[in-house]
Amino acid sequence: MKIYPRFLLNIASGLVAATLLSLTTSSIAFWSIAQTNESNRLVQKTLNTINRINSVIQNIKDAESGQRGYLLSEDKAYQQAYINATLSIEKEIPLLKQLLIDKPDQQNRLSKLENLVSARIAQLQQVLNIKNQQNLEAARFKLKENKGYLLTEKIRRITLELQTVQTETLLQQQKYALVNAQNARIAFILAIVINLLIFAWLYKLIYQEVLKRNRVEQQIMHLNEDLEQRVVERTEQLETTLRDLQQTQGQLVQQEKMSSLGQLVAGVAHEINNPVNFIHGNLQHVQEYSQNLLDFLQLYQKHYPNPAVEIQACAEEIDLDFLRQDLMKILSSMRIGTNRIREIVLSLRTFSRMDEAEFKIVNIHENIESTLMILQHRLKAKPERPEIELIRDYGELPNVECFAGQLNQVFMNILSNAIDALEEFNAKRSYQEIETNPNRITIHTSTIGSNWVKIAIADNGCGIPEAIKERIFDPFFTTKPVGKGTGMGMSISYQIITQKHNGKIKCFSTPGEGTEFIIEIPIQQK
């Protein structure tokens, strides 16, 4: 079959146009990627600057707290905290200068901040020098004068100005990055449209030219259809991969936060536990010794009922009978207090198992109770509402093989959301209405057959609309105001239950009546 030069020229022109368009699109894409990378670098630099500004003001606060604690308690740990804070400030200021070297206005503010910080540190050190000269009372008097408040306030204002400028810079950089990304998308879409038009035109030429070659024509059509299908599938794969990447990044950030929180809580619990055990252990001896002294005093009064006038006057002055009765009550109250602290520390230890990488055999009820202990302050009565009623309907559960720390995270997310829902519901009601229909959270546990356990957590809050309930486990979905929710809590909880524990989590809710989450996990993991 003869092919005319005009046809070949048209085909060649179309291919050249498609090639040039592809090269142009590639150039634009590479340029956009380079611009995006540069924007990301600037964003990271700005975030680093903001973090270091925050570090300066935090170290000032730490230095003030360390100095104050050392003067009041003469504890060397406070002195070391003061020293560490001042050393950290000396390191942070030069780093900030380097980060802001290309910003004259910020350099001026930083110079003012450096002078104010130096003056404040000098004030703090002056008080410590007075103390080191064996004049503790003078140092404490100097501390009470609180003359450094004005300097601290100026430091706070300067750091706030620095943060404000850096935040505005960050927003501009993010906006620029967004514009680059949008331009790249527009160029990509435009190139696809033009390419499709060129291919359609070429297809028409080929179809007209080789009308008699039906077999080849069919093959070309099938190839085009296959190509289009692959483009669609590839696009869907890329979109799915992007969503998975965003979700994974969010989970990694959240898990890192929870891991750091677990380590911090475990450390604090350990540090509190040692002195509390020391106090608790010695209280028993103090109580025994006090009782022995009181018995001895009673025996003395029995055999010497008429002591000297001075002794009688002293007994009346200190109200000996009241002291004898009240001393044991005070010691008993102290034992109750130390027991309460030990319970809180135990709950903190249980809750802090965030970074355990292996399955553990645990008591689910202990995990729930440790989470409730952490949230106790949110359940207590407040001026605007009575105490949130907590109903524990615990069944007899066997120990369960699970990731204890991650399960605690699920309980924390669900219980925190339940309290948030109740508080949102309370905002629309008066105190009397809340008393009539009090806030309530119910926790029910039971077994399902011999291989599964069920944990149901319900509240009588405002409930969840059906449209929102369908998306409640989606990543980055939240109905809370900006700054109060990341949209990752329930998504991570869903993955912890379904993927980490091979379990199920369901949400049942009726608007105006409340919400219930039901968790089902196997007793033993495969």
pLDDT of residue 419: 93
Residue-level length of the chain? 526
Q: How confident is the model at residue 232 (pLDDT cuts 50, 70, 90)?
A: confident
- Give the DSSP H or E segment for 507: strand 504-510
The SS3 call for residue 503 is coil
Closest alpha carbon to 96 in 113, 75, 119, 77: 113
Q: What is the pLDDT of residues 109-165, one digit of tens each?
A: 877 877 878 777 777 777 777 766 656 565 555 555 555 667 777 778 888 877 787
User: Tokens 């669900």, residue?
Assistant: 414
Q: Which amino acid is at 255?
A: Q
pLDDT at 375 over 70: yes
Q: Which of 65-79, 218-232, 395-409, 449-463 has the highest mean pLDDT?
A: 449-463
pLDDT at 498 over 80: yes
- Surface-to-core class of residue 329, CB atoms within 10 Å of its CB (0-12 exposed, 13-18 middle, 19+ buried): exposed
Residue range 440-457: mean pLDDT, rounded: 95
pLDDT of residue 466: 87
452-459: strand order across its sheet? 389-393, 440-448, 452-459, 514-522, 504-510
Q: What is the pLDDT of residues 339-361, one digit of tens each?
A: 667 666 665 665 555 445 568 89
Q: What is the pLDDT of residues 26-46, one digit of tens each?
A: 677 677 677 677 666 766 767
Least confident of 217-221, 439-443, 499-503, 514-518: 217-221
pLDDT of residue 502: 92
Q: How confident is the model at residue 516 (pLDDT cuts 50, 70, 90)?
A: very high
> Which two structure tokens, joined as six digits, stand for 49?
């600057």
pLDDT of residue 453: 97
Which residues are 393's β-sheet partners?
444
pLDDT of residue 477: 64
Q: Are 202 and 11 in contact (CB under 8 A)?
A: yes
pLDDT of residue 508: 94
d(CA 405, CA 359): 10
pLDDT of residue 147: 58
Whole-Å CA distances, 99 to 51, 287, 435: 12, 61, 56
pLDDT of residue 136: 58
d(CA 256, CA 262): 10
User: Between residues 477 and 222, which one has the greater pLDDT?
Assistant: 222
Q: 1-18 burial string, b = 16+ CB within 10 Å, else e?
A: eeeeeeeeebeeebeebb
Residue range 20-25: mean pLDDT, rounded: 71
Least confident of 96-110, 236-250, 357-371, 416-430: 236-250
d(CA 199, CA 205): 10
Mean pLDDT of the chain: 78
Q: Which of 29-38, 262-271, 286-295, 429-438 has the highest mean pLDDT?
A: 429-438
Residue range 53-68: mean pLDDT, rounded: 79
d(CA 195, CA 413): 49
Q: Which of 78-82, 212-216, 273-277 has the highest mean pLDDT?
A: 78-82
